[in-house]
Chains A and B, each alone.
Chain A
């Protein structure tokens, strides 16, 4: 079974530039997550999709971050404009189903390491 795919693996940009990350979840997984992981910390949820609808984006800095999940499959996370504090690893995860107060394990992609200079 293919895992969660992410690209690019690494990205270096200057502050105020824009960047986009792509994620392809495991086939059949209804729920897709984007996390931000700053060095030395645990992953922080940015946005959660159930199929192509947003379930939770309360921690997404909406003035600069945006995300979409086309046709309930692939997803793109964009940052525009980037700030120095956005330097982190951006992880995409998917799970079979999330709902009814039950939560299935999440499968994570390899992440994209973003450096903003």
Chain B
């Protein structure tokens, strides 16, 4: 079964609005990563947050991590039509070696 579950499954907003996606997971993790996938550029890494970090920023992206609740959120501020894509969280969870497990993703549609 997949480790991370994103919420909502789909999100539709207007350009300039903020978009928030959430990810919940089940077991302890080493780090959590967010990826974006669209037809033009394929699957691309956005940001990595380690288990001992609570918040991280990268440009218009803000990621938070709450290990006590086993959840993370991705905030995209001032969204653009080019942000239209599926967003996946991927957890690197504690095991004998490091490996990533992806959730099912949130499909974001940003309308002009």
A→B interface (CB under 8 Å): 35, 40-45, 48, 55-56, 91, 93, 98-103, 105-111
- Given contact pairs A42-B88, A105-B33, A111 touches B101 in the complex (Cβ within 8 A): no
Closest A residue to B102 by beta carbon equals A42
CB distance from A35 to the nearest CB of B (A): 8
Residue total for B at the interface (Cβ-Cβ under 8 A): 23
Q: Which residues of A contact B2 (CB under 8 A)?
A: 41-42, 44
Main secondary structure of the interface of A (DSSP, over half): strand
Residues of B with Cβ closer than 8 Å to A?
Answer: 2, 4, 30-31, 33, 42-45, 48, 88, 90, 92, 94, 97-105
Say whether B42 contacts A108, CB under 8 Å: yes
A42's contact among B30, B48, B104, by CB below 8 Å, is which? B104
B45 A110 Cβ-Cβ under 8 A: no
Please determine whether A109 and B48 come into contact, CB atoms closer than 8 angstroms.
no
